[in-house]
Structure 1
Amino acid sequence: MTGLLIGAVFGAVFVIVNAGDPLDTVTATLLRVVACVAAVSVMVMWFRTARRERPAPREARRNMFSRAYLAVVAAEAVLLFGGLRVLAALGHPEQANVAWVAFVVGVHFIALAPVWKDRSIAVPGVVLTVLGVAGLVLAATAAVAWVPFVSGVLSGVVLLGGSVTFGRRAMTAETTGTARRTGDVLSPSS
């Protein structure tokens, strides 16, 4: 759930920062509100599960933050900040920055999938990478104003949608698992 919370927070930031022109004010505001509600819902799920979960064994925590993980994060930082400087030096429009961020974050998820032995995180990675590339392409066209929406808002929607979906699945599985262990019967409304 902590990974989902981090994804939801970054997803909300992507939407809040990038929902603006050329979108009309009402649409931009609605997107920001929905992003905040989605992030808060994941935060609530995180708190609910954190109260019931036992701390992960030391070995599991060590495997999650292994040397391979640290190498991926270090490469991400170098690519992120180095790439932004290169884009600026090459005279790319400022809108290309969000496309680069989406691209690097997407590649980071793809690289972490084998490290964590979890293919499911490669899915948002591929989508964010594609949205980043699409934004970089758009940045070189007359449609440059749409880069923040394509690479920023849509990337945020992907992160938020995945976080909410997998958070709800985790909560449902936990509730169902608890019911099976205790022999309780859940009503359809639970």
Structure 2
Amino acid sequence: MTGLLVGAVFGAVFVVLNAQSPLNTTTVLLLRAAACLAAAGVVAMWFFTAREQGQAEGARPAMFSRGYLVVVAAEALLLFGGIRLLTAWGRPEQTNVAWVAFVVGVHFIALAPIWKDRSIAVPGVVLTLLGTAGLVLASTSAVAWVPIISGVLSGLVLLTGAVAFGWRTVVARPA
């Protein structure tokens, strides 16, 4: 559930920061409200299951292994180094969100074998594709849509996955 919590928070941040023009004001407000509600739902599920799991299990799985730390370190280098390069190359500011979505997607794909959980590769592939689409779109006259394609849609993917898998975990728990 901790991974879902992190995904939900970052998903909400993606939506809140990137829901903007060219979307109309009503759509922006609805997207932001839905993202915050979804993240709050995942937070509630996390507290509910974390309390029960802590009482039942005692020991926690090693989520933050050496492999995880290597992937996160590489992600940080790629994120910040890539954004600096994009700026140095004079790319539009909107390109940054596409780069972030791309790198975050690749990070999920890299974590799948480390955590021995193929299901996290699915949002990883989707985010990588949305990031790639944004990188391509940033070179066109439709650059204003990059935050929507790479930011809002990526955030919605993270939130949808976090809510769905969180709900599945809550419902599947023994009575």
Bucket of the pairwise TM-score, normalised by the shorter protein: over 0.9
Give 2:9's aligned amino acid.
V
CA-to-aligned-CA distance 1:52-75 (integer Å, 9 cap, x gap): 1125526x22xx222111111110
Aligned to 1:20: 20
Aligned to 2:137: 138
| Cα deviation, residue 141, structure 1 | 0.2
Give 2:27's aligned amino acid.
T
Give 1:20's aligned amino acid.
Q
CA-to-aligned-CA distance 1:63-88 (integer Å, 9 cap, x gap): x2221111111100100000000000
Q: d(CA) in 2 for partners of 1:57 and 1:88?
A: 45
Aligned to 1:57: 59
Unmatched runs of 5 consecutive residues or more in structure 1: 179-190
Q: d(CA) in 1 for partners of 2:93 and 2:58?
A: 42
Aligned to 2:78: 79
CA-to-aligned-CA distance 1:94-140 (integer Å, 9 cap, x gap): 00000000000000000000111100000000000000000000000
**Shift in CA distance, 83/173, structure 1 to aligned 2, threshold 3 Å:** same
TM (norm. structure 1) is 0.89
Aligned identity (percent) is 70
Q: d(CA) in 1 for partners of 2:8 and 2:46?
A: 11
| Cα deviation, residue 166, structure 1 | 0.3
Aligned to 1:10: 10
1:109-148 pair list within 5 angstroms: 109-148=108-147
Q: d(CA) in 1 for partners of 2:135 and 2:123?
A: 18
Give 1:5's aligned amino acid.
L
Q: d(CA) in 1 for partners of 2:34 and 2:94?
A: 23
Tell me the SS of whatever aligns to 2:20: coil
Q: d(CA) in 2 for partners of 1:149 and 1:115?
A: 31
Over the aligned positions, Cα root-mean-square deviation in angstroms equals: 1.0
Alignment pair present for 1:32 and 2:6: no
Tell me the SS of whatever aligns to 1:91: coil
Larger radius of gyration: 1
Aligned to 1:149: 148
Tell me the SS of whatever aligns to 1:37: helix
Tell me the SS of whatever aligns to 1:155: helix
Q: d(CA) in 2 for partners of 1:7 and 1:80?
A: 17
Aligned to 1:102: 101
Q: d(CA) in 1 for partners of 2:115 and 2:3?
A: 12
Q: d(CA) in 2 for partners of 1:160 and 1:149?
A: 15
Count matched residues.
Answer: 173
TM (norm. structure 2) is 0.96
